[in-house]
Amino acid sequence: MVQLIRSGLEGLRERCAGRVVSPKDDGYESMRRIWNGAVDRHPGVIVRCGGPDDAEAAVAYARQEDLEISVRGGGHGFGGLAVTDGGVMLDLSALRQIEVDAASRWASCGGGATWADLDAATHVYGLATPGGTISHTGVGGLTLGGGFGWLSHDHGLTVDNLESADVVLADGRQVHASAREHPDLFWALRGGGGNFGVVTSFAFRLHPVGPEVQVGVLFWEAERGPEAIETIDQAVRSLPEHVGVLIAFGMSAPPAPFVPEEHRLRQGHALIVAGFGSPRHHASVLEPITRALPPLFSFAAPMSYPQLQSLLDDTVPWGTPAYEKALDLPSLGTDAIATLCEQAALKGSPMSFIPAFRLDGAFSAIPDAATAFGGSREPHYTLSVMALTRTADALEQERTWARDAWSALLPYSRGTGAYVNFLTDQDEDRVRASYGEEKYARLAAIKAEYDPDNVFRLNQNIRPATG
C-alpha cells in the first residue's frame, strides 16, 4: 500500500505521476466537466491518474481526509456519478493504452479508454468485442454495468467477453481479477458497477467483424406508429445470426443527407439494422420488413465497424443536458405499443427519444448466475426514456416528460428494476429490484469482503452486507 510521504494535498502531489488539480489550478474547469451538460459539480481535488499507483495514492488520500471518491472513465454516464461534489475525483481519462493480440483474439485497454479508442485498434485486425452504440462512451463504465451493443445478438454482453481486470481496492491493494484469481471479485465486476474498486485496465475476448458491415435505416412516421412498432417487433423477435438492431421510438428524423429534406425533424419510429454477414444476407433481412410496411424513407450502405459505432454520436453530442429513466419490457403488446406512441408524441425536444434494444440470442444463452448482470437473461426489450435538450433550462420540462412516460409504461414492465447503466437516479430500491434478492445478497457479501466501509459508494450503490 502507498504510504504518503507527507500528509495532505502536497503529499498526494509528491506521490502522483499524473496531475493533481485543485479548484484554483489551470484546467480545473474543463477537467470537472463530463458528457452530461446538466451536471455541475465541483470536486475538491481531481487526480488525473498516470497509472495504477496514482489511483492507489488518491484512494489513500481520500480515506485519510475522509472525502468522498468518484471515478471518471469516459465521463459519459447520465447520472453524473463520475463527479463528486467536494470530494476526490479519480480521472482515468489518461489511461487509454491499448494492446491487441490478433492471433489470440484478445485486447486490453486502460480504464479511461473510449469505445472509439478500442474499436479503432481492434478494427485494424478485423476484430471487435460487444460495446455500446456511441463511440465516445467510456469502456469502463459501460463494461462494469454489463454492456451491450450491435454485436450482442451474436456474442452477448460486454461482460460476457471480459477476460480479466486490474483493480485498485479500497484498502490500497492492486489485484488482478479473472476466473482464476479473485474469482468472486471477477464475478462481481461483471455487472456490479463501480462498487468494488477502481478498474485501471480491462482485457477482452475479440470476434471477427468486417472489414465492412452492412447498415440499413428504416423510418416510419408517427401517424403509422402502431403499425410500425408491430412490424418492428415481429422482425426483431426473429432475427437470424449476424444481425444487430437498435430501435428508436419517438425519434425526430435528423437533418442528415440521407433524410429527404421534407422529412427532416419529422417525428416517427426508426429501426437500424446492422448486418455482419454478406450484403445479400443483409438484404434478405430488410426485404420482408419493408414489404410488410414500406417505410417513409430508408437508407442502406456499407461502412466500417468504427463508422457504425459512431453513427449515432451526433444524436447525443458532448455537453448535452440529459436525463433518462429506464425499464425492461418482456414483450410489446397492443396496449404497450399504444402507450409508447402516446408518450413519444408528448416530448418537447426534438433531441429526445426512446431507444430500445432487443436482448436475446447469445445474450440469453448465458446462464443468469454466470455474471452479476442485473436483470433476466430471458429475451426481452430494455428501454430508456431519454430527455435530451440543447440548454440546461429546457431540461426540467423534458425530465418531467421522461418520468411521466416511464410511469405510463411501468404497468407493462417487469417491475421497477432495469439495466443498471440506465439508472440515473440513486435509488436503493430500484438497484435491489434490478439485481433481484439472491444476486444482490451475493454482491453485498462480496462488497463486504472487498470494500467493507463502502468507500466506493458514488454509484448505483450496493451496501456491504453486515453480520
Predicted local distance difference test score (pLDDT) of residue 435: 97
Predicted local distance difference test score (pLDDT) of residue 467: 72
- Is the full-model pTM beyond 0.85? yes
422 to 87, 231, 245, 355: CA distances (angstroms): 24, 26, 18, 11
Residue pair 71/82 in contact by the 8 Å Cβ criterion: yes
Predicted local distance difference test score (pLDDT) of residue 426: 85
Predicted local distance difference test score (pLDDT) of residue 7: 59
137 to 72, 242, 371: CA distances (angstroms): 12, 23, 22
Predicted local distance difference test score (pLDDT) of residue 2: 42
Instruction: Tell me the pLDDT tens digit for each residue of 162-197.
Output: 999 999 999 999 999 999 999 999 999 999 999 999
**Statement: residue 25 has pLDDT above 50:** yes
Predicted local distance difference test score (pLDDT) of residue 220: 98
Residue in the block written with cell 452492412: 214
246 to 326, 385, 448: CA distances (angstroms): 15, 14, 38
Instruction: Tell me the pLDDT tens digit for each residue of 237-282.
Output: 999 999 999 999 999 999 999 999 999 999 999 999 999 999 999 9
Edge-first strand listing for the sheet containing 297-304: 297-304, 212-221, 267-275, 243-252, 354-359, 380-388, 322-329
SS3 content of the chain, % helix, strand, coil (to 5): 35, 25, 40
**Statement: residue 5 has pLDDT above 50:** no
Instruction: Tell me the pLDDT tens digit for each residue of 272-308.
Output: 999 999 999 999 999 999 999 999 999 999 999 999 9
Q: Determine the average pLDDT of the residues in 375-397.
A: 96
